[in-house]
Chain A
Amino acid sequence: MLEFTLRRLAATIPVLLGILLISFVVLYLIPGDPAQTVAGPRADAATLARIAEEMGLDQPLHQRFFSYLHRIFKGDLGSSAVSGKPVLDSVIEKLPFTLKLAALAMSFSIVLGILAGIISAITQGRWLDRVCTVFSVAGISIPVFLSGLVFLYVFAVRLKWFPSSGFDADNSLMPFILPAFTLGIRSAAFLARIVRSSMIEVLNQDFIRTARAKGLSPARILFRHGLVNALIPVITVIGLDLSSYLNGSVIVETIFDLPGIGRFAMDAILQRDYPVIQGIVMLGALVFILVNLLVDLLYAWINPKIRDEMLGKLAR
């Protein structure tokens, strides 16, 4: 396990540095002079030069990259070009909304996805399995903005079960349910496929036949022996979901008018606020890498067989 952890870390650190490098290059490629942005359109040449010097823009590129790294490690992701507010502060302020949305979406996804996957696996090839498959293909293919708008129209505008837009001050979950459902059914559709195939694989193994031969009840075999083993691959899905929720939150928070990270990113895009977008994209990538690192370590810890397999891949 120690060797695996070290090797996994060794593969992660260059990737983290690479992401920082790409972010730095993107920041460098962005049109417009950053000193001009800070100084305002009417600043004279002397002021521009002074600000450029203060910001370190006159230094050679590699030196600027190192001071950029230094800044990042101190937790400074730069400031908004529009409001001047540090990006990290805004992100922390908006994070609770997106986390609530993601947590709720993940609950929907896990409950619906695992349920549909199990039903599909035990009725394999019969009509109930077909129905689940149709729903999962539809769930993956229907764009989030279409399902979001349809839910908004049907459940909020017509039936008035949910508030149609915005988020009310009393800390209720109501405004989050529809957007979370919109995001959740999409990942539930992916999850159902994975649970189905891993469940079928597990149920065809020898130890299940042994359990059956011992005369255990079908329900006990299914849950105690089958499900526990079939659910292991589900852990990896959680890491992938994280990225899809960040992407989806841009669309869903815009449609349902929630003040989370996605909305923040979208507002920054509309205002051409480059430092904010760059900060959010980089943060998203860093979190993705770290979560996947944790997921892999957890995975390897639960299942030593898979650990050896992954170790072989890393060492190659």
Chain B
Amino acid sequence: MKKLLRNLTFAGWLSFIGIVLVLLVAIFAPLLVANDPMETDPLRRLSREEGFPLGCDQLGQCVYSRLIYGARLSLIIGFSARLSSLLIGLAIGLAAGYAGGWLDWFLMRVVDMFLAFPSLLLAIAVSMVMGSGIKTVIFALAIVGWAEMARIIRSAALELRSAEYVLAARTLGASHLRIVLTHILPNCLPLITVIFTMGMATAVLSEASLSFLGLGVDPSLPTWGGMVASAKDYMLRRPELVVYPGLCIAFLVIVFNIFGDELRDILDPSRKGNW
């Protein structure tokens, strides 16, 4: 952690501050909003009224307040989706990398299969089968995201398997489970931090795309992707209503991308410069 803070570049600090900022906005959303984000009023439709900082959308809802709550949904869904893919990816990746042999071969073919599916279409298909809702979106993004995590963790585990301290632990009679949990897993942690952060960018972007297509969570909930989708029909009158939520998505994705990149350069220098 100390090493991390010392080595962070200027861009890294900026992106870190950006993430903290969005996090604070999400936590303190009820204190920051100007109006109830769900309250509709046909009379305020697309108006720029006093007390509504960024005006109102096509249902007369406060755009500013919806943007604030949108941060909450983006972070909650992105984080839960990442966590779920991480858990699946860890289980599969560690098993494949540590066991090797036919199990590795088999699990990696399963990973190949999931990587082959066009991710957005797969997420759409999953959310259609399961019906809309926050849990569905999280599940769909986890199904799409776990394979890449499994592949990266597997190659790390494969290298660690033949490390001297693992062989030593084995000779001392440690069980496989113990070795994986106390020797392999802790040494994968820096790598896991990196792929988790970089994956947050992808998860946020995918959630926004699903919401934009109307296949994410309930469309009445304030999601940034959903706000772009509903504002696009009124783009000729109020083009800025597309831009505000769009920029929020771009901002969150950019800070996660830069911060993830920075983390990788510091924690995992061997992969420096590639994405």
Contact = CB atoms under 8 A, between A and B. Distances in A.
A221 to B, nearest CB: 21
A152 B258 CA distance: 28
Contacts of A284: 117-118, 121
B33 interface: no
A15 B116 contact: yes
Interface centre among B121, B225, B235, B243 (most CB of A within 10 A): B121
A269 B232 contact: no
A277 B124 contact: yes
B98 interface: no
B229 to A, nearest CB: 8
Given A143-B212, A143-B246, A281-B125, A137 B120 contact: no
A200 B213 CA distance: 40
Interface residue tally of chain A, by bracket?
35 or more
Given A197-B273, A247-B121, A146 B213 contact: no
Nearest to B231: A149
B141 to A, nearest CB: 13
A11 B109 contact: yes
B117 A149 contact: no
Kindly list the 10 A-B residue pairs having the minimum CB-CB distance in the complex, ordered from nearest: A146-B246, A247-B120, A197-B273, A141-B253, A284-B118, A141-B254, A285-B116, A18-B113, A142-B250, A246-B118
Interface in A239-286: 243, 246-247, 250-251, 254-255, 265-266, 269, 272, 274, 277-278, 280-281, 284-286
A80 to B, nearest CB: 15
Contacts of A146: 228, 242-243, 246-247, 249-250
B220 interface: no
Interface of A is mostly: helix
B110 A18 contact: yes
Contacts of B124: 250, 265, 269, 277
B112 interface: yes
Interface in B206-243: 208-209, 212-213, 215, 225, 228-229, 232, 235-236, 239, 242-243
A250 B213 contact: yes
Nearest to A21: B113
A199 B237 CA distance: 47
Nearest to A133: B11
Contact of A280 (B112, B121, B235): B121
A246 B121 contact: yes
A255 to B, nearest CB: 8
A141 B275 contact: no
Contacts of B228: 143, 145-146, 149
A194 interface: yes
A258 to B, nearest CB: 16
B270 to A, nearest CB: 13
A24 interface: no
A68 interface: no
A288 interface: yes
Interface of A: 11, 14-15, 18-19, 22, 26, 29-31, 137-138, 140-146, 149-150, 152-153, 157, 190, 193-194, 196-197, 200, 243, 246-247, 250-251, 254-255, 265-266, 269, 272, 274, 277-278, 280-281, 284-286, 288-289, 292, 316
A269 B215 contact: yes
Contacts of A141: 201, 205, 250, 253-254, 257
B250 A285 contact: no
B175 interface: no
A31 B273 CA distance: 45
Interface centre among B213, B236, B243 (most CB of A within 10 A): B213
Given A149-B242, A149-B246, A288-B118, 10 more contacts: A15-B113, A19-B117, A142-B246, A146-B228, A152-B235, A194-B274, A246-B118, A281-B118, A288-B117, A316-B100
